[in-house]
Structure 1
Amino acid sequence: MTIKVGDKLPEATLMEMTESGPSKVSVADLFGGKKVALFAVPGAFTPTCSAKHLPGFIDNLDALKAKGVDEVVCLSVNDPFVMAAWGKAQNSGDIRMVADPDAAFTKAMSVEFDASGAGLGVRSRRYSMLIDNGVVSQLNLEETGGFEVSDAGTLLGQI
């Protein structure tokens, strides 16, 4: 069943790049005890993700933090090297670029789709959510291919 408002995030291990290389991070550690704006994209360096989705969160980072968001996290079914390179290329600043390399977290939330026909394999649907201490308090889940409700401005207006 697809994740919904009021659900606790499923446990999984994600990856991110650190100064010492790729590092594992548990969902519990990433989202526990704080308010986090999470947004997911189908793929780093893809057109809508690079031109609209990530830039919108970069532009609204200070406004999100002013409304009590402790951290902003970008997630994609990619590897941590790609996520780090994309963040650097986009000047993502304090946005935490996190990889779900085997789509375990994405699948546990039932927000995956199969883009094998386009040579991309399993990917995450585009979404944004506000998470309070590991529990979803806002969710903006796009239909596959859409970019109507998961933008930073929509999430900002919900806080």
Structure 2
Amino acid sequence: MTPGFRLPDVTFHTRIRDDSVDGPNPFRWEDKTTADYFAGKRVVLFALPGAFTPTCSTYQLPGYENGFDDFKALGIDDIYCLSVNDSFVMNKWAEWQGIKNIKVIPDGAGEFTRRVGMLVRKDNLGFGLRSWRYAAVVRDGVIEAWFEEPGLCDNHGEDPYGVSSPETVLKWLQDDARENAA
């Protein structure tokens, strides 16, 4: 992906809490589109191979959550975490992590991930199709900056992490703010 690329228009099948729903699982289905998430906003999107996995749960998601105020101070409206997991998994993972600021996007069928060129096979780990790890700064659905981990390929033997880290994206935003202020 390169700056200037418009994100693909897809529909995400989400589950949202609805207290009017009776029973032990008070959620209902709600379809959201790319425009629902990205139109009229400046956001950070980061994608990862899977909820509940070590790097994602220990570093990437908590790092963005803990740095949320720093991102907001630099003009970021929302931060989204996307994974090729269904809404049930993404919601439970966010709850388990105690996430309050980051919004999760379930790309259960991998359609968005495929259309941005980041869908990879992780059969070597028993995962099947998943997202390669990346992050982006997106303004009104258009990519401003792209942070892709090196080595994009199917069944990669490692899980590279650093280029898409919150620290890297935050530094880019700080540098961008300084350049635009000059």
Establish whether TM, by shorter chain, passes 0.5: yes
Specify the TM-score bucket, using the shorter chain as the normaliser. over 0.9
Match of 2:170 among 140, 156, 159: 156
Q: Higher mean Cα deviation, 136-145 or 46-55? A: 136-145
1:51-66 alignment runs, 5 A limit: 51-66=58-73
The superposition leaves residues 11-60 of structure 1 with CA deviations (integer Å, 9 ceiling, x where unpaired) of 11123331132321101121011101110010000010001110110111
Shift of 1:4: 1.7
- 2:120 aligned with 1:106, yes or no? no
How far apart in 2 are the matches of 1:147 and 1:117? 18
Aligned to 1:29: 36
How far apart in 2 are the matches of 1:22 and 1:82? 14
Shift of 1:108: 0.3
* Bigger CA radius of gyration: 2
1:65-76 alignment runs, 5 A limit: 65-76=72-83
How far apart in 2 are the matches of 1:117 and 1:88? 28
* 3-state secondary structure, aligned to 2:146: strand
Gaps of 5+ in 1: none
Give % identity.
Answer: 37
Report the TM-score when normalising by structure 2. Answer: 0.83
Match of 2:102 among 69, 77, 95: 95
- 2:143 aligned with 1:136, yes or no? yes
Amino acid at match of 2:76: V
The root-mean-square deviation of aligned C-alpha atoms, in Å, is: 1.1
Aligned to 2:156: none
Gaps of 5+ in 2: 19-27, 153-158, 174-182
Runs of 4+ in 1 over 3 A off after TM superposition: none
